[in-house]
Amino acid sequence: MMHFEIMLIASMVAIACAIPGTFLVLKKWSLLSDAIAHSILLGIVLAFWVTNQIQSPLSMLFAVAIGMATVWGSESLVRSKLIKEDAAIGLIFPVFFSLAVILVFWIGKNTHLDQDAVLLGELALAPLRRLEWAGIDWGPVSGWYVGLVMMGSIMMTIRFFRPLSVTLFDPLLSKAVGLSPGLGMMGLMIMVSLTTVVSYDAVGSILVVCLMVTPACIALLVTRELKRVLVMACVVGVVAAVLGYWVAVWLDATIAGSIAGTLGVLFLLTFIFSPLQGVWSHRVLMQQEKIEFACKILVVHLYSHAGTVIENQENTIEHMGRHMNWDMGYSNQVIQFGLARGYFEWLGDHLNLTSLGREWAKSAFSLT
Amino acid sequence: MISIYYSLALALMAAALVGLLSGTLGCFAVLRRQSLLGDAVAHAALPGICLAFWMTHSKESWVLLLGAIVAGWAGTLLVGAISRHSIIKEDAALGLILSVFFGIGLVILTALQSTNQTGQAGLMTWLFGSMAGVSIQEIMIMAIVTSMALCGVMIGWHPLVVCTFDRFYAHTLGINTRRMEWMITFLLVVAIAIGLQLVGVVLMSSLMIAPAVSARQWVNRLGPMVMIAGAIGMMATMMGVMISSLMRIPTGPTIVLCVSVFVMVSILVAPHRGIVWRLGRRRVVLSEP
């Protein structure tokens, strides 16, 4: 039951993060998630000061306010044209975070709010705080918070998919249809702040960043259409959450860190082997195209000499080495490729084009 | 009493060195629009620190420093590789490497803790930074590394400047731009690894960016900017150490708040660029007929 609850919470966090994360990555605002994840600590600490609870409706309110303040602060620094965007993001959040750490230090001396717990999170402790109502155990508190925010983001994204993508990715069109371009950004930032604050207790700030950025990157390497990327990112997040949990059990280490590590490994595999974009697949494709081109040259060569007197000398494998500057191995490779495709066949010791090969050679000249 | 002043003096010396180094090199990061590289490298250094400890079982400062440099360097190379070889942009690559490396570092850290290896508690100070227990040997290491890095900047000053502002022009001058870029990134990684001990992983980015941004407001030339940034970095870190030891609050956040005050003042009142200055000038222009 404990295993199941932890995996469920982790999976819900993964989904709740993947949705806004995809938009952030596409808008090149990935590091805003890092900034918000850190500065939101101030909101949590302030709310903790008032209510003595890490998770409460008030902490959500404060967190959204601080998240918006972070975005607004860096935006207005950029607008003043004194500071570039990257520097502005990197300036604002350390200030909020520092204030939060100092506040934690002052008020947290005899409470259970300590800085590394908030920063790093401990998923293993999440099922311990339970929601009891009318004498019945309703499951872990943080599970409910995370679940609500997850459902909220899913529903909002589906309901407002069009306006959200238009305001985010096409400001001119959104102005033309009467939607303020800032609207999508505001909604997105609220989503990011809420997700971060409910995920904090369970997984800590760094994993929030990881769960927002990495699944979206993996999905983008595999598919290009926005809806598919969103679904794919959610699936990847859930897979990583479950796998990462078992890695953590196996290593007896932090669950949040293991999920991050698992996501890293998944990303590396996708980066290398993805059929669409992977480095390895790209290489294989390049080699294939190279050999296909070589084969085309060979077919054209055969075509131009077909039926002439010197055909027997021109169309042998030895001649290819001299004519095309290919070595024996490469000539063999190209010939094997062409034979497999059925462009030509051996006739004694020289090559003879098939009708398919003749058509291909003609199409190379565009003589169809 | 003497020992308290002694340790405070040591902390101040360390702080001054760290502030000087990160202020100076931060200028290049900011001008090259790589401000957030500091954040990423600082996080990426964690697994290196933990692995170095795991392999050598020593908490010698230079061993951990070496681990931090190697891991941070690997992180930056990966960021470059990802953004070059796929559609993923640099910002996403930074966020990805930052969080994944940090997560792996935490896994190693907690796995070490669960196997009950003694003495890993000291590794936690790298997360939040501490100047409390800095020894004279560590300051020696810091001083050597700092002076080497600063010498590197001075020796390579001309190509460094050209590369920072105009890569293509540098290329036409026959400068090996790729090697220069490696050198700048390496120096940045070193500066970050040194600074980590003082302010911790999370707040390192501020120590890189803030002095450079404040210095930029006052001058328009790179030479003076680097010097002013170094001076601001030094002053801010020393002020932070003083205040934090007087008020007994954590060192790293105090330093960040101090250096942010410098930024705020610079943005407001710096001549020609500052907000107040610009407001004043607008009024003058408006009052003319």
Q: Which two tokens stand for residue B92?
A: 């996403």
Asked whether the predicted pLDDT for residue B285 surpasses 70, the reply is no
Question: What is the reported pLDDT for A354?
Answer: 84
The model's confidence at residue A118, banded by pLDDT at 50, 70 and 90, is low
Q: Do A252 and B33 touch (CB under 8 A)?
A: no
Q: Do B260 and A212 touch (CB under 8 A)?
A: no
Question: For tokens 């003082």, what's the residue?
Answer: B198
Q: Do B106 and A98 touch (CB under 8 A)?
A: no
Quote the CA–CA distance of B111 and B42 in Å, as a whole number.
21
Checking A167-172 for CB contacts under 8 A at 24+ apart, the result is A168/A23, A168/A26, A168/A27, A169/A26, A169/A27
Burial A145-157 (b: 16+ CB within 10 A, else e): bbbebbeebeeeb
Average pLDDT value over all residues in chain B: 85
End-to-end CA distance of chain B: 67
Question: What is the reported pLDDT for B8?
Answer: 84
Mean pLDDT of A223-229: 89
Mean pLDDT of A150-177: 87
Q: Which residues of A touch B103 (CB under 8 A)?
A: 206-207, 210, 256-261, 263-264
Q: Which residues of B touch A213 (CB under 8 A)?
A: 92, 95-96, 99
Question: What is the reported pLDDT for A254?
Answer: 82
Question: What is the reported pLDDT for B121?
Answer: 56
Least confident of A271-285, A318-332, B215-229, B242-256: A318-332
Contact present, A350 and A316 (Cβ < 8 Å): yes
Question: For tokens 């002043």, what's the residue?
Answer: B5
Mean pLDDT of B181-188: 87
- What ipTM did this prediction achieve? 0.88
Query: How close, in Å, is residue B92 to chain A by CA atoms?
Result: 5
Question: What is the reported pLDDT for B123?
Answer: 63
Quote the CA–CA distance of A29 and B94 in Å, as a whole number.
11
The model's confidence at residue A14, banded by pLDDT at 50, 70 and 90, is very high
Average pLDDT value over all residues in chain A: 83
A263 closest CB neighbour out of B85, B100, B252: B100
Taking the model in full, what pTM does it have?
0.85
Q: Which two tokens stand for residue B15?
A: 């702080």
Query: How close, in Å, is residue B126 to chain A by CA atoms?
Result: 12
Question: What is the reported pLDDT for A214?
Answer: 94
Q: Which residues of A touch B109 (CB under 8 A)?
A: 254, 257
A&B contacts, CB < 8 Å: 197
Q: Which residues of B touch A34 (CB under 8 A)?
A: 39, 95, 98-99
Least confident of A27-41, B130-144, B237-251: B130-144
Query: Nearest-CA neighbor of B32 among B194, B120, B162?
Result: B162
Contact present, A65 and A123 (Cβ < 8 Å): no
| Residue A269 neighbours by CB distance under 10 Å | 13
A210 closest CB neighbour out of B100, B209, B212: B100
Q: Which two tokens stand for residue A291?
A: 């050999």
Contact present, B69 and B48 (Cβ < 8 Å): yes
Asked whether the predicted pLDDT for residue B227 surpasses 90, the reply is yes
Instruction: Provide DSSP, B77-126.
Output: HHHHHHHHHSS--HHHHHHHHHHHHHHHHHHHHHHHHHTT-TTTHHHHHH
SS3 A351: strand
Asked whether the predicted pLDDT for residue B182 surpasses 70, the reply is yes
Instruction: Provide DSSP, A270-337.
Output: HHHH-TTT-HHHHHHHHHHHHHHHHHHHHHHHHHHHTTSTTHHHHTBHHHHHHHH---HHHHHHHHHH
Q: Do A253 and B106 touch (CB under 8 A)?
A: yes
The model's confidence at residue A121, banded by pLDDT at 50, 70 and 90, is low
Asked whether the predicted pLDDT for residue A18 surpasses 90, the reply is yes
Quote the CA–CA distance of A10 and A243 in Å, as a whole number.
11
Q: Which residues of B touch A207 (CB under 8 A)?
A: 99, 103
Asked whether the predicted pLDDT for residue A368 surpasses 60, the reply is no
Mean pLDDT of B261-284: 81
Q: Do A251 and B111 touch (CB under 8 A)?
A: yes
